[in-house]
Amino acid sequence: MHSLNGYKCLKGKNRFQNISKYTIRSLLKYLHPFAYAERDWIMWNYSQYKRSQLGVSNYNKSINDIGNPPIMKLDSTFKWNLRWLRYLYLRERLFFTLGKETMKNIHSIVDIGGCYGGFISLLAETYPSKNYTLIELGENIPLAAYYIKSIFKDKEINIINKTTDSLSFEGNIINLVPAHLFEIASNESFDLCCNYVSLGEMSSIHFKEYINSKLYKNSKLKHIVNRVSSSPYYLKNTFYSWSNNQTILDYNLSGNVKYFDIFPFTHFFPLLESKEYQSINCSLKDYKGLISSWKRCPVSSQQFECIIEV
């Protein structure tokens, strides 16, 4: 989510190479026009985060500096990046909408497409005795295991490796499930099912696999953030067209709607436009990227946010 802003010099054996890369990136922060557009994008999202604070828990924990993430800071206390702001907001939205008493009574939580485990780690810091399950692409499972274990050294991690493995629903355990073994979790029911963005990015085949699963249908509460339309008609035959076709109507958002609105983040991206005002792909290394004006460009539909009690 960050390309030029927020990075620090890597540590490790290849010190000269790391310093060289960091020096080049630091220079590009002032020489490349994209860097200014990216900072505008980052700060716009930060302002959305500030406007979206709900004042329930006033939880403003800084990002954990694990694995060399990009880190921004406007003062000496609060450190963040765009993904971290999103996690903080989602946590606050759950607490504000459901209330602390309901949150206490939730015992099992699944995060579909949970990336490196940042969001469930935020919840686990507040409620360490709950049971958590993260479903993510197989190549990201080691990253999630490393991140989670770095924070919770005493927490047990149950990594699903084969079809004969099973989830554990005991407290103080985090299950990590690679997406190709989703069948292990698909017939389970959870108190809270979360999905942020990834269902709308899936192929139609995989989307239906998740939406039609008992996990999705039978979970008592759902917190969903995805695009209203994964492939808007006006993007057909452009670089940013998508091959899937799911819309908000396909998410089975039936039940007691506790909250519904437009998600406050990433309403646009810093991109180049063609003469027809269509967003175009351009590498930062391309000459065009160096001489053109990067603009605030929407590349898809806005994202809806919904919390539902089944």
Q: Domain check: are 45 and 85 in the same one?
A: no
pTM, full prediction: 0.93
Q: And the tokens for 89?
A: 């907001």
Q: What is the dihedral of CA 14, 20, 24, 26, to 10 degrees?
A: 80
Separation CA 212–CA 228 (nearest Å): 19
Cα–Cα–Cα angle for 157, 162, 166, rounded to 5 degrees = 55
Interatomic CA distance for residues 197 and 210, integer angstroms: 13
Record the tokens describing residue 263, joined without a space. Answer: 């998600």
Of 79, 106, 125, which residue sits at a domain end? Answer: 79
- 22: containing domain: 1-79
Tokens representing residue 199 in the block: 């269902």
Domains: count for the chain: 2
Backbone angles phi, psi at 272, to 5 degrees: -95, 155
243, pLDDT greater than 80:
yes
Select from 79, 107, 129 the last residue of a domain.
79
Confidence of residue 279 (pLDDT cuts 50, 70, 90): confident
Angle (nearest 5°) at CA 214 between 103 and 119: 40
Residues 14 and 105 in one domain: no
In this structure, the answer to whether residues 25 and 143 fall within a common structural domain is no
Question: Mind listing the pLDDT tens digit for each residue in 123-140?
Answer: 999 999 999 999 999 999
Comparing 248 with 68, the larger pLDDT belongs to 248
Whichever domain contains 230, its CATH number is: 3.40.50.150
